[in-house]
Amino acid sequence: MGLRAKFNLAVFTAFAIGLAVAAVLLQTVFVANAREQVLENARLMMTAADAVRHYTTQQVAPLLPAERDGKFVAASVPAFAAQTTFHEVQRKFPAYTYREPTLNPTNPIDRAGDWEADFINSFRNNPGTRELVGERDTPTGPSLSLAHPIAVDSPACLGCHSTPARAPAAMLATYGSANGFGWQLHEVVAAQLVSVPMALPLAAARTAFLTFLAIIAGMFVLVMVILNVLLHYMVIKPVRRVTHIANAVSLGESDVEEYERRGRDEIAVLSAAFNRMRRSLDSAMRMLER
């Protein structure tokens, strides 16, 4: 195996190992950045939902009666306002969801599914937890869910959810008296859940990751070409020349020209040493011939 092949093999091996390590680290970084981007989008949606809830509580509820013409006015309920508002967003972005699932809801449509109940129970079992993040597979791809607890922080909520006897008649007429009661003050009864798809951010992260690797590989090829050119003209070609002269001298050819390399690098020092050795050898041969 020649010097060039050994050099290229050593550099290629070092590059392959470095690229493999970099690929693992970069993939982790790109996926983490994509996940953080999705999480920021989820927090932004959660903030918007909180704003709708706050506006409904502070501005809408005082102006609307709990019932009108014998019918319950759901628009004064913060949870209803937030979820209804988000339905407009969901028309354009169906993979994005916002729900306020409840373990014991007044409206059956708000009943928590199994994975939603896991969030609520985790909040109930860990009272100090204010945020949970989870990932799950959906028919449209992986989805990230951000959850905040909803607790009964106001005694006013118990007017509708403590016992059927205290609840507005219009609410009982609309939803019945079987569900949504028995809530306790400061009890976590529901959760705000925002789900954001991860397929597009992960695909973008993968594209960026592969592009970055391709750029690194291209840079490596360019560097290898430059190094091979330098290796050829600065090392291999002079060594071949010195080798040719050495072979000729070893075969008794005395008319072979000397190779002189200017400079102070190793090849120049080698050529100078070889020329001195050749002159010394010529002198010794002439002395023997006398």
pLDDT in tens, 261-290: 676 777 777 777 777 777 776 676 667 666
Residue 256 has what pLDDT?
A: 67
Q: Does an H or E element contain 260, and which?
A: none
How far is residue 76's CA from residue 82's CA, in Å, rounded to a whole number? 11
Residue 255 has what pLDDT?
A: 67
How far is residue 280's CA from residue 208's CA, in Å, rounded to a whole number? 64
Residues 70 and 170: beta-carbon distance below 8 Å: yes
Residue 267 has what pLDDT?
A: 74
How much is the pTM?
Answer: 0.71
Close Cβ partners of 93 (under 8 Å, ≥ 6 residues apart)? none
pLDDT tens for 5-42 read 888 888 888 888 988 998 999 899 999 999 999 999 89
Residue 254 has what pLDDT?
A: 65
Q: CATH says 21-205 is which class?
A: alpha beta
Q: What is the CA radius of gyration of the chain?
A: 39
Q: Which residues of the chain have pLDDT under 50?
A: none
Residues 60 and 76: beta-carbon distance below 8 Å: yes
Q: Where are the domains of the chain?
A: 3-13+208-289, 21-205
The amino acid at residue 149 is P
Given the structure tokens 């199994």, which residue do they identify?
114
